[in-house]
Amino acid sequence: MNRVDYLRISLVDRCNFRCLYCMPEGTDLNFLHRSEILSGEELLSLLRQVFIPLGFTRIRLTGGEPLVRSDVVEIVREIARLPEVQDLAMTTNGYFLADKAEELYKAGLRRINISLDSLIMETFDRAIGNKGRSCWQQVWQGIQVAHRVGFDPLKLNVVVIPGVNDAEVTDLAALSIDRNWHIRFIEFMPVGNFQLFAKRGWIPSEQLQQRIRERWGLTTGCVRGNGPADVFQIPGAKGTLGFISQMSECFCDRCNRMRLSADGWLRPCLLNETGQLDLKTELRAGVPMVQLRDRVRELLLLKPEINYQGRDFSNIGATYSRTMSQIGG
């Protein structure tokens, strides 16, 4: 079991997109009221007095869409100032990035992941559930600005859905050839849209790698990060290609992360809702930080068993109660 030192923090459950694999049309979502979400002060207190003393040094900010939160830049700034934090990153859909990238960089953010599931405008809008004016150009502009500002590595996340965007795998991979961008292909999971998963299924990373290998070849690559991606590179390319194979490969024994939802629930496993801690309720009830720290420490000891239980997908459509947007992915 790896040392658990990586905390993914969902800043908000709201998002301006309704992606097919996250919160598709028809999903009944009751977004949290602002008072139900951890405040910036509460979040920083938990970091300083609970998580950092337990050895968490790597932080990723997620959502929903983290950039819809009004105090996101200040949160980034305060976390970046913590001397114990060795790595601070963010995952975003990129829509607001053109306006926020420079502020975030100046506040101390250096690594960023941007969702880009298609290079085709119509496919992209379908994937994000958009029925109005296309959002593709706004996201693409955000990616360009983030690159220009200096984010390194700049990663583009692609959830590969059969019959939706799988035909674009080589086109998306080609973005890494002339740019120092890192394209990450993620196997479609039965979380968020189990009905679509049951209908479409998923494509193993090995098949995607073979398509790319047949066109250009592939060599082993390397890129800074904390995730479980297997990293390759098109020969001579400036960037890399990562493959996150949570369906075809069990990497639970390598999991180094915990997840803190926007409403303060701490969970040790993405695919298992047992063993959660409601830190917000206890924090607001005045439970001493030392007690909260002890409870988190106990949960860390249970994490290997909880991870193992989370590998059972047989009934996940009926038992899993939160979408990706509500837990931060």
Residues of 168-178 as b/e, b for ≥16 C-beta within 10 angstroms?
bbeebbbbbee
The mean pLDDT value for 262-280 works out to 88
pLDDT digits (tens, 9 = 90+) for 19-48: 888 876 666 678 899 999 999 999 999 999
Distances (CA, A) of 34 to 14, 269, 316, 323: 10, 25, 29, 19
| Cross-strand bridge partners of residue 137 | none
Tokens at residue 85, please?
Answer: 């934090």
Phi, psi of 301 (to 5 degrees): -70, -30
Q: 3-class SS at 220?
A: strand
Q: Is the pLDDT of residue 1 over 80?
A: no
DSSP 38-86: PPHHHHHHHIIIIIGGGT--EEEEESS-GGGSTTHHHHHHHHHT-TT--
Per-residue DSSP letter, 253:
G
Q: Is residue 3 in some structural domain?
A: no
CB 266 within 8 A of CB 276: yes
Structural domains of the chain, count: 1
Mean pLDDT over each residue of the chain, to the nearest integer: 90
Q: Is the pLDDT of residue 318 over 50?
A: no
Q: Is the pLDDT of residue 69 over 50?
A: yes
Residue ranges in the chain assigned as alpha helix (H): 40-46, 72-80, 97-107, 121-127, 136-149, 169-173, 175-178, 194-200, 205-215, 279-284, 289-309, 316-319, 324-327
Q: Is residue 51 in some structural domain?
A: yes
Q: Is residue 288 in some structural domain?
A: yes
The per-residue pLDDT for 253 is 75
pLDDT digits (tens, 9 = 90+) for 102-147: 999 999 999 999 999 999 999 999 999 988 889 999 999 999 999 9
The CATH number covering residue 149 comes to 3.20.20.70
Any idea of the CA torsion for 72, 76, 78, 81, to the nearest 10 degrees? Answer: -170
The per-residue pLDDT for 319 is 46
Residue 163 burial (10 A CB sphere; 0-12, 13-18, 19+): exposed
The one-letter code for the residue type at 4 is V
pLDDT digits (tens, 9 = 90+) for 254-266: 789 999 999 999 9
The mean pLDDT value for 220-229 works out to 83
Q: Is residue 240 in some structural domain?
A: yes
Domain that holds residue 256: 10-327
Rounded CA-CA distance 72/84 in Å is: 20
Q: Is residue 32 in some structural domain?
A: yes
Q: Is residue 231 in some structural domain?
A: yes
Radius of gyration of the chain from Cα atoms?
19
CB 123 within 8 A of CB 168: yes
Q: 3-class SS at 25?
A: coil
Q: Is the pLDDT of residue 315 over 60?
A: no
Could you tell me which of 76, 79, 63 has the C-alpha nearest to residue 114? 63
Q: Is residue 2 in some structural domain?
A: no
Query: Per 3-state DSSP, what percentage of the chain is helix, strand, and coil (rounded to 5)?
Result: 40, 15, 45
- The two beta strands, 154-160 and 181-187, are parallel
The mean pLDDT value for 204-225 works out to 94
Per-residue DSSP letter, 6:
E
How much is the pTM?
0.92
Q: Is the pLDDT of residue 291 over 90?
A: yes
Q: Residue 34's CB: how many other CB atoms inside 10 A?
A: 11
